[in-house]
Amino acid sequence: MTMMLMTATTTAAKEPGSIEKYILPGFGVGFLLLMGALCVLLLTKMWRNEINLATLLDEANGDASMSRFQLLLFSIVVSVGLFLYMLKNQALPDVPDSILILVGISASTYAASKGISYSQPQLMVKPAPNANVAPTLTAAQAAAEAAAEGATPVVAAPVVAAVPPVAPADGE
């Protein structure tokens, strides 16, 4: 890598306009190699469960975060779209201002929700389940508990209501 850069700089010093021809591709290749190595490292750590992705979209209290989901989804859509454009055209795209504005709105929505959640500490902790409320039991669970206590379970018969037939309206 350093040999390539040294060769490019010596060649660039001799020829006018050769910086774009020799140095920039060298930096581009170096950058791609660095990013590729970081991606491989990240994927390896994810594969070994050293990076926990289970709470990627969670708020601090454990609830799902719509703002995080929106930012993640929109970032993936824009990134994949730009990547596919670069693969097809072999050039950097001119990103429209509307896409940049939408990415900015998505990021600012996430930042605002983060600020709101951290400014209200009572929202950071999930409320404990109310101990005064009895849990709802199904009929089968109630019968099993009654049988375990030695009582005769009372099972209500289903109520069937007779519905009279509806007379047709006049003219039918």
Domain ranges of the chain: 1-51, 53-125
pLDDT greater than 90 at residue 38: yes
The per-residue pLDDT for range 87-107, each reduced to its tens digit, is 888 888 898 999 999 999 989
Of the CA atoms within 13 Å of residue 92, those in its CB half-sphere come to 3
Widest pairwise Cα distance in the chain: 102
pLDDT at residue number 156: 53
- Give the span between the Cα atoms of 37 and 157, in whole angstroms: 68
Amino acid at 48: R
Asked whether 112 and 68 are in contact (CB, 8 A), the reply is no
Phi, psi dihedrals of residue 167, rounded to the nearest 5°: -75, 140
The residue among 122, 113, 120 whose CA lies nearest residue 58 is: 113
pLDDT at residue number 45? 92
Residue 131 buriedness (CB in 10 A; 0-12 / 13-18 / 19+): exposed
For residues 167 and 5, the model is more confident at: 167
Specify the pLDDT at position 143: 66
pLDDT number for residue 124: 63
DSSP 68-112: HHHHHHHHHHHHHHHHHHHHHHSS-----HHHHHHHHHHHHHHHH
Q: What is the pTM of this model?
A: 0.49
At residue 5 the predicted structure's pLDDT band, cuts being 50, 70 and 90, is very low
**Helix, strand or coil, per DSSP, at residue 20:** helix
In this predicted structure, the answer to whether residue 168 has a pLDDT above a threshold of 60 is: yes
Distance between CA atoms of residues 129 and 136, nearest Å: 13
More confident residue, 60 or 13: 60
Identify the weakest region by mean pLDDT among 9-13, 66-70, 95-99. Answer: 9-13
Amino acid 154: pLDDT: 55
Q: Taking Cα atoms as reference points, which of 115, 119, 78, 132 lies closest to residue 100?
A: 78
Could you tell me which residue, 165 or 29, shows the higher pLDDT? 29
48-61 mean pLDDT: 81
Q: Is the dihedral of CA 116, 121, 125, 129 positive or negative?
A: negative
